[in-house]
Amino acid sequence: MKTKGKNTKIQIIGITIALVAIFTQSIDAQQYPLSYMYDRYKYTVNPAALRIGEGVGLHASYCNDWYNNAYDNRFYGFGAEGGFFKQNMGIGLVLTQENSGLLAQTNIKVSYAYRVQLKEEHWLSFGISAGYSHLGLRKVDMYKGLGFDETDPLIGMSQNGFFGAFGLQYKWKALEIDAAIPTYNTINKKHVPVFGSISYTFKIKEDWGLKPILMYNFLNPDMHHIDGRLQASYKDYAWLQVGFRNTKELVVAAGGEVKNVQIGAAFGFNVGSYNQLNQGNLEVVVGYRFANAVVKTTRSEKDATTRSHISKITDDVSTLKKANDKHSKELEKINTSIAELNEQIRTELKNSLTEIKEEVQSIRKEDIVVDETKVLDKQYFVIVFVTTTQEDADRIVNRMAQQKVKGQIIRDARKSNYYIYTETYDNLQAAVKQADKEKSRGFSGAWVLVVR
């Protein structure tokens, strides 16, 4: 009888512990202070952090207490994300199973994010989530010490409920800020979980980066984590993190990506006093990202692209204006040179016309004496010789004939001059041109006679 009474007391104590464990625990509490997953797959805690426009991504995660794991604490997770509909929208799915102490918790949630593109590499994202959670007691050996067996109905006690989440993400070039309420439900309103992080990537060299990260995760007044980490990375192929958590835990993480496959791990080392909830843990995450899907360009994206193009054109115009201002003096010099050249050309033309006038003389038609009257049908005569006697004129014509050059004679009765010419033309320009040819073949005194 004493043994039976003792077992009853133990069961009562066990029932009390179980009820307290279930009904004082929020259905959405995250026991593990996950480091790697919250950084590389931030959408699992902040729905606004869905990677929009980068294809479809999958990941699986595992975490457990790797030191003094008396309660076999473990965490399993799976997630998927992608911009399935439009370039500025994304959806995600997260499944988690967590065993922590007396409790086992299963969560499933879907997320939606909308991105407002402010400028290139500058945006603000809004995200919401809705999910379902199941929280119950685990079937572990420690219950046998409380007087239960695996068929005891107390082990089947559980708490179910729905929860929601909301988050923001601000991105400006290398700066990234996240703020979220990871889970909110109507059952536990006393403590609302809060998540926040801020990071900035410094470019050390073209392919190397250094990123300080500060992360805050509040579950309740007795469980909140502050992580400070420093990440060194080479392109997107490899990265290494070293940090410290306020629970006196040193965190070291490393990872890499090869052909769209991401693999990473984080180790937590307890460097302070004994802490039952945080004795150090191991976290492993594997992910894969498919090629970027073809999506339709939204009007806001077209507007953003147009604004970007207009900005580039404006910059180009400004550059051209500066170049134009820079060369304005040179343009003025060129214009001055052109004016001087025009003046020089006008002077040379004037001089040329004067020379032409000197080479062109006129005579009245009625003063012409010629044997062939048909010659007078032409107005311009190319003269090669002038003499005052008929005998000299005939002798010159005969000499020209010997040189196979045809010469003809007309006489100015008023001046008693005899003109020996080679050609006649209807226009002055052709006559002057022929006179130049005659000069080139030896008749240096060739000129044009105008018969008016």
Are the beta carbons of 94 and 111 closer than 8 angstroms?
A: yes
Nearest-angstrom CA–CA distance, 272 and 247? 8
Q: Which residues of 281-295 are buried (b: 16+ CB within 10 A; e: fewer)?
A: bebbbebebeeeeeb
pLDDT digits (tens, 9 = 90+) for 158-175: 678 888 999 999 999 999
9: number of Cβ within 10 Å: 10
What is the per-residue pLDDT for 10?
47
Check whether 63 has a pLDDT greater than 90.
no
pLDDT digits (tens, 9 = 90+) for 298-307: 455 566 677 7
2-294 has which fold? Porin (2.40.160)
Q: What is the mean predicted confidence (pLDDT) over 418-433?
A: 89
312: number of Cβ within 10 Å: 10
What is the residue-averaged pLDDT of the chain?
Answer: 78
What is the per-residue pLDDT for 297?
47
Q: Is 200 exposed, middle or buried (0-12, 13-18, 19+ CB in 10 A)?
A: middle
pLDDT digits (tens, 9 = 90+) for 198-250: 999 998 888 899 999 999 988 777 777 888 999 999 987 899 999 998 888 88
Q: Which residue has the higher pLDDT, 383 or 309?
A: 383
Are the beta carbons of 366 and 452 closer than 8 angstroms?
A: no
Are the beta carbons of 165 and 201 closer than 8 angstroms?
A: no
Backbone φ and ψ for 382, nearest 5 degrees, come out as: -90, 105
Nearest to 88 by CA among 382, 384, 302: 302
Are the beta carbons of 152 and 143 closer than 8 angstroms?
A: yes
E strand or H helix that includes residue 18: helix 2-23
Nearest-angstrom CA–CA distance, 2 and 8? 10
What is the per-residue pLDDT for 291?
66
What is the per-residue pLDDT for 103?
76
Amino acid, single-letter form, for residue 332:
E
Q: 151 Cβ partners below 8 Å, 6+ apart?
A: none
Backbone φ and ψ for 335, nearest 5 degrees, come out as: -65, -40
Q: What is the mean predicted confidence (pLDDT) over 183-200?
A: 79
Are the beta carbons of 264 and 253 closer than 8 angstroms?
A: yes
